[in-house]
Structure formats: C-alpha cells, structure tokens
Amino acid sequence: MSADFWVFVLIGFLAQLVDGALGMAFGLLSTTSLLAFGVLPATASAMTHIAEIATTAASGTSHIYHRNINWRLVLRLAPAGMIGGALGAYGASRIEGKMLEPYVSAYLALVGFYILFKAFRPLWLREVKDWVVPFVGFGGGALDAAGGGGWGPIVTTSLIGRGHEPKRVIGSTCLTEFVVTLTISVTFILTLGWSELGSAIGLILGGILAAPAGALVVKHLPVRPLMIAVALVIIVTSAIRIF
C-alpha cells in the first residue's frame, strides 16, 4: 500500500475522533486536510462523502433506535438536501479544480469562523418557522457537496436556532445526512469515475478505527476548547491556501 493511503487513514482517524466528540466536522476536517495534501476540491469532496456513507448510516440507525427522529422534518429536509447536494456535486465536478480551490477554501474558512462563533456564543432559540426547512436543506446540501463539508454546522445549527427541539433536530439531520451523502457520492462517481476515488477506502478505514474512541474523547475532553481548536485548524489551513 502506498504512503498516501496511510495518510488518508490517518486523516480519517483524526477527523472521526473529533466528529465523535462534537457530532460534526468529519467532512470539514477531511476535506481541509485532503486539500492541504494537494487533492483537487471535487475529488476531496467526493472522497469525503463516500467515506461518510458508512458513518452517517450508523449514526442515522442509532437515532432511529433511540427515537430521536422527527419524521415530518426528515420528509421536508431530505428531498431538498438531495437536490441541492446533487447540483452542488455536479457543479464542483465540472469546474476546473484550481479555479474552484480559492472559493472552496474561503467557504471552509467561513464555516470555521461559524464554529468559532458557536463555541463562544451559542445560538438562541427562536420561534419555529417550518417554511424555511426546505431552503436550509437545499443550501446545506449544495454547500456541503461543493465545499466538502458543512451539513452539520449549517443545517443543524440553523434549525436549532429557529426553535426546533435540539434532540430531534440532531437525530433528524443525522438520518437525512445519510441520503444526502449517498446522493452526493453517486453524483461524484458518475461524473468523476471511481478510479479517482479509490483512496476513499483509506478514510473509511481510519474512520472505522477511530469510532470506538469517540466516546473516550467525549468523556475526557471539554467540548468548547475542542470546537475552538477545530475552527482554528480549518481557518488557518484555508487561509494559507487562499493567500
């Protein structure tokens, strides 16, 4: 196996370790790391989403078992997220990689600042506005596909911020993320081909190895400093690529 394969395993391991503690950031950290190693934006996003199929399936199944799902929310969120994800993936695969990279890096930096904002000032609950759910899903899916991550920080925090019950939002968005991720992955495979995406196996292996350690991270590390650290890693690495 090549040295690159083990680098991808390490990236998947560390990203899943953080994701297990925060409930998000696997996609953001994986994509940011892959871009830093010279992987083109569309390929980095595709590899990340293929790796996420297994993790989101496990997460969604767990939330169904624990009855954390608002099925009405899922039915309103999923179709819009799938459409947005497919369009975002198709657009990313058709744009020249080097041309897209500064915009993807800028997007990731903005999400990093958003996570940093959340760490210091949690969103206040407001009145629920159901009409916005499909728009949040569409935007979250499109940006997640084009930028290689961001579904959790964008969709979950937006819906909680609008007054939906946090436990149900987390469960519903985790379940919805599986079908959105699957749609994005299929779109990338059809447009880019599987030969460019085989290294996603390294991310999957790393994520599987790290999954059991997630509970230990939650138990022993405070969440806020970890969120700050993740946000700073994303911001700094994205800024380096921009400038």
Tokens of 213: 């350690």
pLDDT tens string for the chain (243 positions)? 567 788 888 888 888 777 766 667 788 888 888 888 888 888 888 889 998 888 788 778 878 888 888 999 999 999 999 999 999 999 988 887 667 778 888 888 888 888 788 777 655 555 555 788 999 999 989 988 988 887 877 888 778 767 777 778 888 888 898 999 999 999 999 988 876 676 788 888 888 887 666 556 655 667 677 778 778 877 887 787 777
pTM for the full model? 0.78
Contact 144, 154 (CB under 8 A): yes
Written as one string, the DSSP assignment of 127-176 is ---GGGHHHHHHHHHHHHHHHS--HIIIIIHHHHHTT--HHHHHHHHHHH
